[in-house]
Protein backbone atom coordinates (compact mmCIF):
# COMPACT_ATOMS: atom_id res chain seq x y z
CA UNK A 1 0.00 0.00 0.00
CA UNK A 2 1.50 3.27 -1.17
CA UNK A 3 1.09 6.30 1.08
CA UNK A 4 2.66 9.74 1.12
CA UNK A 5 2.39 12.50 3.68
CA UNK A 6 3.63 16.05 3.48
CA UNK A 7 4.77 18.14 6.40
CA UNK A 8 5.77 21.78 6.63
CA UNK A 9 5.84 24.87 8.86
CA UNK A 10 2.22 25.92 8.32
CA UNK A 11 2.97 29.62 8.30
CA UNK A 12 6.10 31.61 7.55
CA UNK A 13 7.07 35.18 6.81
CA UNK A 14 8.04 36.74 3.48
CA UNK A 15 11.71 36.29 2.52
CA UNK A 16 12.07 33.14 4.64
CA UNK A 17 12.92 29.69 3.29
CA UNK A 18 10.16 27.10 3.08
CA UNK A 19 11.21 23.56 3.93
CA UNK A 20 8.85 20.70 3.11
CA UNK A 21 9.16 16.98 3.83
CA UNK A 22 7.42 14.12 2.06
CA UNK A 23 7.42 10.89 4.06
CA UNK A 24 6.30 7.85 2.14
CA UNK A 25 5.83 4.11 2.41
CA UNK A 26 4.99 1.24 0.09
CA UNK A 27 7.71 2.03 -2.45
CA UNK A 28 11.40 2.84 -2.63
CA UNK A 29 13.13 5.78 -4.28
CA UNK A 30 15.90 3.39 -5.27
CA UNK A 31 13.60 1.49 -7.65
CA UNK A 32 14.13 2.09 -11.35
CA UNK A 33 11.46 4.37 -12.80
CA UNK A 34 10.34 5.76 -9.47
CA UNK A 35 10.50 9.44 -8.60
CA UNK A 36 8.84 11.88 -6.22
CA UNK A 37 7.42 15.18 -7.40
CA UNK A 38 6.15 18.31 -5.71
CA UNK A 39 3.05 20.08 -7.00
CA UNK A 40 1.26 23.05 -5.46
CA UNK A 41 -2.20 24.57 -5.65
CA UNK A 42 -3.19 28.02 -4.42
CA UNK A 43 -6.60 28.00 -2.79
CA UNK A 44 -9.34 27.67 -5.40
CA UNK A 45 -6.86 27.69 -8.28
CA UNK A 46 -5.04 25.28 -10.56
CA UNK A 47 -2.06 22.98 -10.18
CA UNK A 48 1.58 23.88 -10.70
CA UNK A 49 4.38 21.32 -11.02
CA UNK A 50 7.42 22.40 -9.03
CA UNK A 51 10.11 19.71 -9.11
CA UNK A 52 10.87 16.00 -9.49
CA UNK A 53 13.67 13.82 -8.13
CA UNK A 54 14.24 10.28 -9.39
CA UNK A 55 15.77 6.99 -8.35
CA UNK A 56 19.12 7.73 -9.96
CA UNK A 57 19.18 11.23 -8.40
CA UNK A 58 18.26 13.14 -11.55
CA UNK A 59 16.28 16.30 -10.83
CA UNK A 60 13.94 18.57 -12.75
CA UNK A 61 12.72 22.01 -11.81
CA UNK A 62 9.99 24.34 -13.00
CA UNK A 63 11.99 26.90 -15.01
CA UNK A 64 9.89 29.79 -13.70
CA UNK A 65 10.97 28.94 -10.13
CA UNK A 66 14.23 27.11 -10.71
CA UNK A 67 16.53 29.55 -8.94
CA UNK A 68 14.49 29.26 -5.75
CA UNK A 69 13.93 25.49 -5.61
CA UNK A 70 16.04 22.65 -4.24
CA UNK A 71 14.76 19.07 -4.23
CA UNK A 72 16.54 16.25 -2.42
CA UNK A 73 15.91 12.78 -1.04
CA UNK A 74 16.85 10.42 1.76
CA UNK A 75 16.34 7.01 0.22
CA UNK A 76 17.14 5.01 3.33
CA UNK A 77 14.49 6.86 5.35
CA UNK A 78 11.89 7.05 2.58
CA UNK A 79 11.72 10.82 2.46
CA UNK A 80 11.92 13.56 -0.12
CA UNK A 81 12.39 17.26 0.52
CA UNK A 82 11.73 20.58 -1.14
CA UNK A 83 13.16 23.96 -0.21
CA UNK A 84 11.86 27.23 -1.61
CA UNK A 85 13.90 30.32 -0.85
CA UNK A 86 12.71 33.93 -0.57
CA UNK A 87 9.03 33.13 -0.23
CA UNK A 88 6.32 35.73 -0.67
CA UNK A 89 2.53 35.73 -0.49
CA UNK A 90 2.31 34.20 -3.97
CA UNK A 91 3.78 31.00 -2.51
CA UNK A 92 0.73 30.52 -0.28
CA UNK A 93 -0.75 27.21 -1.40
CA UNK A 94 -1.44 23.58 -0.66
CA UNK A 95 1.74 21.63 -1.41
CA UNK A 96 1.43 18.03 -2.56
CA UNK A 97 4.04 15.37 -3.01
CA UNK A 98 3.30 12.57 -5.43
CA UNK A 99 4.92 9.32 -6.40
CA UNK A 100 5.94 9.64 -10.00
CA UNK A 101 6.52 6.95 -12.55
CA UNK A 102 9.09 8.14 -15.05
CA UNK A 103 10.46 5.73 -17.60
CA UNK A 104 10.88 6.10 -21.35
CA UNK A 105 7.74 7.88 -22.58
CA UNK A 106 5.84 7.40 -19.35
CA UNK A 107 5.58 10.18 -16.78
CA UNK A 108 2.68 10.35 -14.38
CA UNK A 109 1.79 11.07 -10.75
CA UNK A 110 0.04 7.90 -9.62
CA UNK A 111 -0.16 8.37 -5.85
CA UNK A 112 -0.58 11.67 -4.03
CA UNK A 113 -0.28 12.81 -0.46
CA UNK A 114 -3.13 14.64 1.23
CA UNK A 115 -1.33 17.96 0.87
CA UNK A 116 -0.07 20.47 3.41
CA UNK A 117 -1.23 24.07 3.61
CA UNK A 118 1.49 26.71 3.66
CA UNK A 119 0.67 30.34 4.32
CA UNK A 120 3.15 33.17 3.76
CA UNK A 121 2.15 36.20 5.77
CA UNK A 122 3.79 39.02 7.67
Partner 1 sequence: DIQMTQSPSVLSASVGDRVTLNCKASQNINKYLNWYQQKLGEAPKLLIYNTNNLQTGIPSRFSGSGSGTDYTLTISSLQPEDVATYFCFQHNSWPTFGAGTKLELK
Whole-angstrom distance, CA of residue 118 vs CA of residue 40: 10
H or E element, residue 40: strand 34-41
From the list 7-15, 47-55, 70-78, 85-93, the region that binds partner 1 by CB under 8 A is 47-55
From the list 23-31, 45-53, 72-80, 83-91, the region that binds partner 1 by CB under 8 A is 45-53
Contacting partner 1 (CB under 8 A), which of 28, 107, 117, 119? Answer: 107
* Contact present, 29 and 81 (Cβ < 8 Å): no
For partner 1, the closer of residues 19 and 94 by Cβ is 94
Amino acid sequence: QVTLKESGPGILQPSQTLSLTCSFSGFSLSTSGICVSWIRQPSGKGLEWLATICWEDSKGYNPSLKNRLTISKDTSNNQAFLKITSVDTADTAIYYCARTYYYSEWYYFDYWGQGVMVTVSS
